[in-house]
Amino acid sequence: MHPTLLALLHRDLRVARREFWFFILRVGVQPLLFTFIFGYVMPRQGIVARGYTSLLLPGILALSMTLSGMQAVALPLVIEFGWTKEIEDRLLAPISIAGVAFEKILMGLFQALVAGLVVLPIAWAIMEEGLNFKLAHPVLLVSVAVLTGWVFSAFGLVLGTITAPQQIGLVFNVLLGPMIFFGCAYYPWETLKIIPWFQKLVLVNPLVYASEGFRAAVTAQLPHMPLWGVFGGLIGFSVLFTYLGLRNFERRAVD
């Protein structure tokens, strides 16, 4: 790996370490609130079946990594390209413009993996009663986690390079709602076959493939999307978002 890239990663890791608790609050509060209500309170009220927690856990894991990867890249990048122009200091480093962009994605991937490692055991503890955890294979879990982190970090790069600072809050508010509720985080994609048009429509949402990938990895006994579909979607979106993100980053950098 390029020494300058390692230096940039080291610098960002030091910053992230100083802001660790703010990072935990940013990426953990919303998924854990959903976990507590849907995975602890409502099953005990009899509103949802206790087995629902097994369907919910993979979605919560995917959601936490989605939020972390997108925010870790998009929010700082909007500021660096906007008011502070801090990105100019990075562009002066002895590395290509694409290398600077790749470092952003790698940092987002790292933070997404940390978010998953933090949220998974806490969500598991909250929903322990009625939870049927069945790990298909560690390699499958790691593969889905890495691809999920990459997809949404690259998506964050796209958002961070096309959004003005004063609009980033609006973009996240408008984007995250439909992404979450149409992303199969709270229900399996396989059961949507009773609504065929909707089952096909949600395939444009990258969160669907992350949720279904984790469902196949940690609750293998439950219905889930075929693995060829999961990996096809994750790899396809990772290539698309990486291409768009790099192109937009280079365009903004030379303006």
Residue spans per domain, the chain: 3-254
Higher pLDDT, 114 or 24: 114
Summarised one tens digit per residue, pLDDT across range 133-170 is: 777 688 999 999 999 999 999 999 999 888 877 787 77
Q: Name the pTM for this structure.
A: 0.87
Which stretches within the chain are classed as H helix?
A: 3-18, 20-36, 42-45, 52-81, 87-91, 97-126, 138-162, 168-181, 196-201, 206-218, 227-254
Summarised one tens digit per residue, pLDDT across range 8-23 is: 666 666 766 777 777 6
Summarised one tens digit per residue, pLDDT across range 45-89 is: 776 666 777 788 888 889 889 988 888 888 888 877 766 666 666
CA dist 20 and 16 (Å) reads 6
